Amino acid sequence: MILGARPALGRVAALLILVALVVMFCVGPLAAYCSLIADNSDALASREALLQRYRALTAAASGGAPAPSTAAAAAGPALLYPDMPESQISALLQETVKNAAGAAHVQVLGLQVLRGEAIGGATRVGVRVRANGDMASLRSLLYAVETARPLLYPDNLAIQSHTTGADAAPSTLDFQLDISGFQTGPRS
């Protein structure tokens, strides 16, 4: 039997080959691509749920205040403390320093609140920290302070080392550091 003698049989054979190729394509690469899209969609949904959970925790930690708008969140964290009493700013500053010191493995010996002063359209609120730790801990503390938001300014660092012997390397450092934060507008 020759296919040229029967053109209808040739068309049917070509159609069957085309259907077989389409089925193979749907079973092979197209199915893998659809599976990849479904997996990525599931991962995106789980991350969205995690984001919503973090937003709810943040709202609960901030006293039930609503989450910031997307435009405010896109602008990034504030560099200055908002308009609030100086005592609250001092308390927030002390808490930030204590958390940074704990993370840096620095032992805080004392915190002293410094008097606020108006500087160029802003109010400077500060604390003096007396602490001890090794050099790596001091470096970690300074890094945490310098990268904190709202912006913190370390100043007046004084370091004293304690050696156990003439040839021994210093084991601990006692240091004193002033850390300041700034508030928008001078307080009257």
Contact 104, 167 (CB under 8 A): no
> For the ranges 46-50, 157-161, 173-177, which has the lowest average pLDDT?
46-50
The tens digit of pLDDT for each residue in 3-19 reads 556 778 888 888 899 88
pLDDT of 182 higher than 80: yes
Which of 140, 57, 58, 161 lies closest to 97 in space, CA to CA?
140
Which of 119, 120, 138 lies closest to 129 in space, CA to CA?
138
Position 77 confidence tier, pLDDT thresholds 50, 70, 90: low
Alpha-carbon torsion 86, 91, 94, 95, what sign? negative
Predicted local confidence at residue 62, as pLDDT: 67
> For the ranges 68-82, 102-116, 135-149, which has the lowest average pLDDT?
68-82
Q: What is the mean pLDDT of the chain?
A: 82
> Which pair of tokens denotes residue 177?
């550091």
Gyration radius of the chain over CA positions: 32
* Share above pLDDT 90 across residues of the chain, in percent, rounded to a whole number: 34
Query: How far is 77 from 108, CA to CA, in rounded Å?
Result: 27
